[in-house]
Amino acid sequence: MQPKTPPIVAFQAEALRLLKSIIEQERVGHAYLFTGDVGCGALELAHSFAQTILCQKLVDGWACGACPSCRKFLTVSHPDFLLIQAGERYIKIDEIRELKRESALNPFEGGRRVILLEEAERMNLEAANAFLKLLEEPPPSTVILLTTAKPNLLPTTVLSRLLRINLRRPPNSVIAQQLVFEGMEQESADKAARLARGSVETARKLASAEAGDSAGAGGDVGGAQLLGSLGTIEGAVKSAKMWGKDRQKVLENLDGLSAFLEGKLGEGGEDVTSVVEEAIHGVISARVAISANAAIELCLVDLFIKLGDLGLCRIVV
């Protein structure tokens, strides 16, 4: 599988060049701060850099997207990648302590360990102080990445220990390209990007709110649009995220996907039929696992990778 850099990451060309040269010269330091306006691509670039640090087989100086390490990273199961996401809450001292404990162990896979703290400004004061200690005595083999749109809210003692990567605000066209890369149709992507004021996150929210509306009106969360986005591991992961974690809803979506595939059974020759049958079999197995309380996101990623590998998107879309 050829690696494909997400458009929002490729757009930050200057930062990307700097990070590639750091990797190439084996000068990976201990701590980086990715900063720019909300939704400028800092999260995506930080994740991509983390994946690159852990990748076993770089292509063009960046993560290959296909080695065992990249596959684990993309399916959110790499043991040497520790992620803290703040979301709507504050990051507490206990989480930083736990991080310190875990990072004191040797990396499981023998290479490096990467810690990524998203929206780092959401550390409360105690957490920030504990984090400072981690920065002052960084565990060997550990690389710490932070993202924030509000660097001024971080203590200067923390800021002074980070290599700062400043990012640019992406234009609408790049945001639209990113959404298309994530599996959205061009027209919806353009519309969301126009309304999003330079933030890919806002664009995603707008687009998924709209997709929710159209799914309610009989849209195809499990049909052609989904299958069109499954050519890459990234596409599979993004689609799984878009389906969410509401078990009942996911089961309904799987039923919708089965029905869509069954509708395709009579449309092609024997080759097509056997591929579609295999796909339906995969959907049913995932349904059984998810009804039996298996981890939803992992089951979906696994299923979507399988469907992508079957080349279903070329056959039925």
Give min distance, CB of 54 to Zn ion, in A.
8
Alpha-carbon distances, residue 168 vs 10, 12, 42 (angstroms): 12, 7, 9
Give min distance, CB of 313 to Zn ion, in A.
23
Contact footprint for Zn ion (CB under 5 A): 55, 64, 67, 70
Give min distance, CB of 76 to Zn ion, in A.
15
Nearer to Zn ion, 70 or 96 (CB): 70
Name the token pair of 239.
């689609």
Name the token pair of 68.
């065992």
**Pairwise CA distance, residues 162 & 31, whole Å:** 5
Nearer to Zn ion, 54 or 127 (CB): 54
Nearer to Zn ion, 134 or 233 (CB): 233
Other CB atoms within a 10 A radius of the CB of residue 160 amount to: 10
**Pairwise CA distance, residues 317 & 300, whole Å:** 20
Alpha-carbon distances, residue 194 vs 170, 174, 177, 189 (angstroms): 12, 11, 12, 9
- Residues pairing with 84 in the sheet: 117
Nearer to Zn ion, 233 or 276 (CB): 233
**Pairwise CA distance, residues 213 & 207, whole Å:** 10
Residues in the chain, how many?
317
Give min distance, CB of 72 to Zn ion, in A.
10
Nearer to Zn ion, 51 or 225 (CB): 51
Give min distance, CB of 14 to Zn ion, in A.
23
